Structure formats: structure tokens, C-alpha cells
Amino acid sequence: MPTLEELQQRVLDLEAQIAGKKKEIAELEKEKERGRDAVKAALLEQARRFGLDLRFGEPHKPRRRGAAVPGWMTVKEAADRIGITRTTAYRLVKEGRIKAEEVKGQIRVSEETVQQILAQRGQ
């Protein structure tokens, strides 16, 4: 028959083993989550490559940007023609020194405006 001290020691040993197993379980849960995140990220990347939007299960339709509008050009195109940076061109548009308008939801500069600026600069 075990003594009281032996039984108490056995209980302490078992509690220590339980604590160790709980720690192992917590680590496995973390590893499992990391694995899920990695698989999810890989699937989303593959879906993106194929143009799929997994949130809705429909093919992703890329937004059409910069459709040509006769007589108008993008701020970048105007900047290139004038010989300034895009950032400077946007700043000048904001300051009102380059006239621009919103055409089909995008900021555009008329060819006329670019010709006037070039004429003022003597080009």
C-alpha cells in the first residue's frame, strides 16, 4: 500500500504530465492554424492568377482603365508631352494652373490645353 507522500507525489507528477500535454496540444493547434493560413494563401494566389474571385465564385472582371477619349489625354500623357513629371502635373491641375476635367470618371486634360501650354513655353 502506497504511503500518503507517495500518492501526493504521484498526483504532482500526473499534474505535471497533464500540463505538458496541454502545452503540446496548444503548440499543435498553433501549427494547424499556420498550416491552414498557408493553404488558404496559396489557394487565393492561384485563384488570383486565374482571375477568380473566391468570395463570390465568379470570374474577376478587371477594371478597364485609361480608355482613349478623343481630344482628351491622361494627366500622365499631358505631363510627358509638356515635359514635366506626373506628380508636378497633378499638382498644377490641383492648383488650377493646368485646366483639367473629369471625363468618364477620370481626370483628363484636353489636347487644346496642352497645345496652349506648349505655345506659351515657345515649343
User: Rounded to an integer, what distance in angstroms lies between the CA atom of residue 36 and that of residue 99?
Assistant: 52
Q: Which residue from 75, 85, 76, 80 is spatially nearest to 109, judged by alpha carbons?
A: 75
Please state the domain extents for the chain. 4-59, 72-120
Strand partners, 102: 107
Residues (pLDDT < 70) of the chain are: 53-67, 123
**Torsion sign (Cα): 38, 40, 42, 45:** negative
Q: What is the pTM of this model?
A: 0.45
Model pLDDT for residues 67-85, shown as the tens digit of each residue: 577 888 999 999 999 999 9
